[in-house]
């Protein structure tokens, strides 16, 4: 399991006093302020959230040491992490995205299909990014109870129910008639 978990990403500067748009990855977006000092992916930057408020589609944060627009703008796209031990244990049927990455994806018969390489949410729910075994590209599939009936983190695997012909290259599929 990863030692640190990404809990937020800094967006653009907001206003002239050093505030930033903040995309929170916590279940309750405001909870990102409860985890203490946040650090950048490389560990060189450390921030505390001094103030946090909801805005339309994002949070707005005042970070320690950031007092003007230029300083805020330099932080755009910085991902913020906390040590895993600061986070509460995941509830039953809930998972930290970081725990899913790297799991083996199998069909219901135990045949390995590929590996989970990412989790994305473009606004319509979580999608698993899977690298099929023996291929360089990736495919996306919904992360729902129907398409992913089993998540076995301790066993290092998930069971997926992909649609028929899902892993075939598009040009190998027969046209629908």
What is the per-residue pLDDT across 17-37, written as a single tens digit (0 to 9) for each? 999 999 998 888 999 999 999
What is the per-residue pLDDT across 104-114, written as a single tens digit (0 to 9) for each? 999 999 999 99
Q: Pick from 24, 58, 85: which residue ends a domain?
A: 85
Tell me, yes or no, whether 79 and 141 share the same domain: no
Q: pTM of the full predicted structure?
A: 0.74
Domain extent for 162 = 97-168
Contacts 24+ apart (CB under 8 A), 63-66: 63/10, 63/18, 63/20, 66/18, 66/19, 66/20
Tell me, yes or no, whether 43 and 72 share the same domain: yes
Q: What is the pLDDT of residue 173?
A: 47
| CA 75 and chain centroid, separation | 19
CATH number at residue 164: 2.30.30.240
Tell me, yes or no, whether 77 and 45 share the same domain: yes
Q: What is the DSSP-derived secondary structure letter of residue 70?
A: H
Three-state DSSP state, 124: coil
Q: Do you know the residue count of the chain?
A: 177
């Amino acid at each position: 399991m990863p030692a640190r978990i990404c809990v937020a990403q800094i967006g653009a500067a907001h206003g002239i006093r050093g505030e930033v748009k903040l995309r929170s990855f916590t279940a309750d977006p405001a909870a990102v302020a409860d985890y203490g000092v946040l650090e950048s992916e490389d560990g060189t930057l450390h921030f505390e959230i001094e103030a946090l408020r909801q805005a339309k589609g994002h949070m707005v944060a005042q970070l320690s040491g950031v007092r003007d627009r230029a300083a805020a703008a330099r932080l755009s796209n910085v991902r913020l992490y906390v040590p895993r031990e600061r986070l509460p244990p995941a509830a039953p049927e809930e998972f930290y995205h970081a725990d899913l990455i790297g799991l083996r994806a199998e069909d219901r018969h135990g045949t390995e299909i590929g590996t989970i390489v990412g989790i994305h949410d473009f606004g319509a729910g979580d999608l698993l990014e899977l690298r099929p075994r023996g291929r360089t590209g990736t495919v996306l599939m919904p992360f729902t109870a129907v398409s992913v009936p089993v998540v076995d983190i301790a066993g290092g695997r998930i069971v997926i129910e992909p649609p028929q012909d899902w892993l075939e290259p598009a040009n190998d599929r027969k046209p629908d008639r």
